[in-house]
Chains A and B, each alone.
Chain A
Amino acid sequence: MDLVANNLSYKPDDQYHLNEVSFNFKEGNLYTILGRTLSGKTTLLKTIAGLLTPDSGEIKFDGKNFLKIPVWERNVAMVYQQFINYPHLNVFENIAFPLKQRKIDQSIIKEKVMDALKSVGLLGYENRKIQELSGGQQQRVSLARSLVKNAKILLLDEPLVNLDYKLREQLREEFKNLFSKGLADETILIYSTTDPRETMELNGEVIVLDEGKVLQVGPAKEIFENPNSLKVAEISNDPPMNIIEAKILDNHIRFEGIDVEAPQHLSKLTEDGLKIGLRSSDIELGENGHEFEVELAEISGSETLLHLKRGDTKIIVSIEEVLNFKIHDKVKINFKIDRAYAFHADGKLASSPFGGLNG
């Protein structure tokens, strides 16, 4: 049973929330919608759920016009980025709610709710009030509520974004286990996120969304290795990919007085306005490197993000250890230039180290 959308558009004000979005989702698969905030992810999920009606376009599920079916008959489940539960019900009643909407035997409801509680690790909490739970536990309850009804379409709208770092790591791990446990055999799982790392870890089919438009569709690895444009490269990397305005001449990349030998996949590009893209992790500190000035050094978890400047060129370097730098310190860096991307002036991918559009 496929979920197919054709040219969905939604424009409630003067901006497109969805702009000609089309997709073909197959059952048993995990789809990740990657995009920055306000890119239309939530709008898209709400449209699939039926909470929003698009201005134009169609959604078909199992060949039937999905837009004609009211929300409560669509058999979808959704987990929101805010932890949405029923404040007047306890944990058990919350999870049983979707089942109570159908005529299901009490004993079966109990069994299913207990199963769901078990799979989200909340056994023993069934009589607690929702307000007594922590944010992570509340989100688990709403996850359990979405699992219990065995919906054909499971929508997860940035479910981890409002959790603290530790919990996020932990729940992400649990999500991965849940998704791989064959839950998804008949389910279409749609997961939206702003976090490229989450996208890579979930390793599903990725839809990159920006300003309501689909920019690229493909497996996570493909998006990461061969982003088809500057925008996608920015969205699919955190910190965003460094973009350097450079010139390639005589097999050399030149910018800000720096001169490095071009790797093979970039050597034939000679056009004007070329932009070189280099991930922050593909730049390293080195004794014989090029000198840059430190603008800002931030420590995030176990890595250090260095914001560097040379002339008009600003780059971010991520280093896998905690280092202390002062502003205006001089550092020397080397580029792993064989991992550089090149983009045309209009933002389209010119060449990638993984073989996209070589030459």
Chain B
Amino acid sequence: MNFKHKYFFLFPGLFVLIGILIFPIIFVVRLSLSGWNSYNPGLDYIGLENYIRLFTDDPRFWESFFRLSFLSVTTVILQYVIGFALAHMVWKDIKFKRFFRVLFLVPMMTTPVIMTVIWRTFFHESLGPVNDLLSVFGVAPKWLTDPVIAKFTVIIVEVWQWTPFMFLLLLAGLLSLPKEPFLAAAIDGASPVRKFIYVTFPLMAPISIGAIIIRLIEASKIMDTVYVLTSGGPGTSTETSSFYIFIKGLREFQMGYAASMSFTYLIIMIISLTIIAKVLTKVLLKD
């Protein structure tokens, strides 16, 4: 259709898109080619210097990146398994089904930052209730100050906070499944366990892939939990990419360098999530 004023009507949407998405990305790319820092603010041009520094002289970025990969993959797997189990549980006709459905969603309704503060209090080594209880068994793990245990503390909090989201998506998926194949499967001789493996799980594959990808995108931005819980510590043992970029950019004010990290990070995420989505589709849908 050729309509004279069509661009006029497109403009408001286009304006917002350019303003909040296209312009920032282009600006970040330009910024990453500059040496903008607190001594030297401004968009000068230093070529690929920031990228060379990132790829040759900054192991901390790559450590934080691999730490992030570990944290996000682990939390998403746990969220998926626990979320699926809970959804499957309240999918069947059990007592107090509605009560449990609401109960399992409560963490999602809370404010993550505030809940993380509460978790930090819980896990406080000498004053927190967790170690109070554990002292009965004579143990007192250093939840927040041991480099290894602190990673798992972050995982626990992340899983607690975001499993409900997974639960919600998977429950919606389960409720939308056709009932008939399950009738057929029972008669075809499938025990409940086999019914799950051969019918429920494959039927849920498309929804599972969607849920996992959404959560992976979200989880790869882990920031608030780390910020509040451990501030990346002890040392850098729970520091994630976004937190490191935050430190470089907004604490040390190396804007140009932080922009180059952000852009590199964006490219890596796009590539790896595409690969993950492809692999999941191939494995789960056999397509």
Docked-complex contact B188 and A145, CB < 8 angstroms: yes
Q: In chain B, residues 175-197, which have Cβ atoms closer than 8 Å to a Cβ of chain A?
A: 178, 180-181, 183-191, 194
Interchain nearest-CB distance for B282 vs A (Å): 15
Docked-complex contact B205 and A102, CB < 8 angstroms: no
Binary CB contact string for chain A from 85 to 120 against chain B (1 if under 8 A, 0 otherwise): 111110000000110111000000000000000000
Binary CB contact string for chain A from 180 to 193 against chain B (1 if under 8 A, 0 otherwise): 00000000000000
Point out the residue from A49, A82, A85 that lies within 8 Å of B187, measured CB to CB.
A49
Docked-complex contact B188 and A149, CB < 8 angstroms: yes
Q: In chain A, residues 48-74, which have Cβ atoms closer than 8 Å to a Cβ of chain B?
A: 49-51, 70-74
Determine if B66 is an interface residue (Cβ-Cβ < 8 Å). no
Docked-complex contact B205 and A84, CB < 8 angstroms: no
Determine if B235 is an interface residue (Cβ-Cβ < 8 Å). no
Docked-complex contact A101 and B203, CB < 8 angstroms: no
Q: Contacts A97-B198, A100-B198, A101-B194 known; A84 to B186 CB distance under 8 Å?
A: no
Docked-complex contact A78 and B187, CB < 8 angstroms: yes
Q: Which residue of chain B has its CB nearest to the CB of A94? A: B184
Q: In chain B, residues 125-159, which have Cβ atoms closer than 8 Å to a Cβ of chain A?
A: none
Q: Which residue of chain B has its CB nearest to the CB of A155? A: B187
Determine if A342 is an interface residue (Cβ-Cβ < 8 Å). no
Given the complex of chains A and B, what is the CA–CA distance between A70 and B192 in angstroms?
10
Determine if B202 is an interface residue (Cβ-Cβ < 8 Å). yes
Which residues of the partner chain A approach B178 to less than 8 Å between Cβ atoms? 87
Interchain nearest-CB distance for A153 vs B (Å): 10
Which residues of the partner chain A approach B191 to less than 8 Å between Cβ atoms? 70, 72, 101
Point out the residue from A51, A80, A98 that lies within 8 Å of B189, measured CB to CB.
A98
Point out the residue from A51, A80, A85, A102 that lies within 8 Å of B186, measured CB to CB.
A51
Which residues of the partner chain B approach A77 to less than 8 Å between Cβ atoms? 187-188
Docked-complex contact A88 and B203, CB < 8 angstroms: yes
Which residues of the partner chain A approach B184 to less than 8 Å between Cβ atoms? 78, 80, 84-86, 142, 145
Which residues of A are in contact with B by a Cβ distance under 8 Å? Answer: 49-51, 70-78, 80, 82, 84-89, 97-98, 100-102, 142, 145, 149
6 smallest beta-carbon distances between A and B, as pairs = A98-B188, A101-B189, A84-B180, A71-B186, A88-B202, A84-B184
